[in-house]
Amino acid sequence: MTDARLIDSASRMDRALGLPDDAFAQKRPHRGLITKSEVRAVSLYKLGLRRNSVVWDVGAGSGSVALEAAVIAANGAVYAIERDSECLAMLRLNMERLGAANVVLIDGEAPAALGDLPAPDCVFIGGGGVKLPAILECAASRLKADGHIVVNLASIERAAQTHGMLNALGFDAELTMISASRGKPLPDGTMRLAALNPVFIVAATRASPNCYTEH
């Protein structure tokens, strides 16, 4: 089912890019299941967003990527696709609080929910589960010629599989691991570093044909 309503909050779309994690309402009791700001920054960069980009955020969760992408793609559209009812409630709340004039909420499961959407310039996939291969095939078949696909994954095995799938689909894929640590104060006034879980980012663009010709 598609909710094609655009929440009218354009007055808040001039907010700064780079919101802290706590700015987003998150799913409970699993608070923290969000694309962390350090990973979000790299993922947004690798999406190659432009002001008029059409973006798919597949498995949008709390909407942290979709709502940040919407600031960059201010003259485009971001389609936030999510099937989990609790995540949808959080996503709607975040859209209302943070501004989402160019975000379209899609209540449904990929890849079936992607069929009626406009062809994307950028596709972000936050995992995908067992349907990831089918989602990648759909994204690859609909992506515009100079588009980008970015997938965030928690395990090196899934990341390697995704890297291989995208190469097999005719893309140039690269694999990056983001391992960040945040400072935590200690009682004596010093600080320690607390490591976040590492995240693997697979970023891909369609492979360019080899223009070299031997004479």
Quickly tell me which residue has 């999406």 as its tokens. 47
Reply yes or no on whether the pLDDT at 10 is more than 90.
no
pLDDT per residue as tens digits for the range 106-127: 999 999 999 999 999 999 999 7
pLDDT score of 33: 63
Ordered DSSP codes for 96-155: HHH--TTEEEEES-TTGGGTTSPPPSEEEES--GGGHHHHHHHHHHHS-TT-EEEEEES-
pLDDT band at 28 (very low <50, low <70, confident <90, very high): low
User: Both tokens of residue 9?
Assistant: 């909050």
Q: According to the model, what pLDDT value does residue 147 have?
A: 96
pLDDT given for residue 129 in this prediction: 86
Judge whether 169 and 198 are in contact, CB under 8 Å. Answer: no
Q: What is the mean pLDDT of residues 25-30?
A: 65
Residue with the bigger pLDDT between 153 and 7: it is 153
Mean pLDDT of 3-23: 61
Among the CATH numbers 1.10.760.10, 3.40.50.11540, 3.40.50.150, 3.90.550.10, which is that of 2-8+35-206?
3.40.50.150
pLDDT band per the 50, 70, 90 thresholds, residue 212: very low
Taking the whole predicted model, whether its pTM rises above 0.85 is answered as yes
10 Å CB burial of residue 130 (0-12, 13-18, 19+) is: exposed
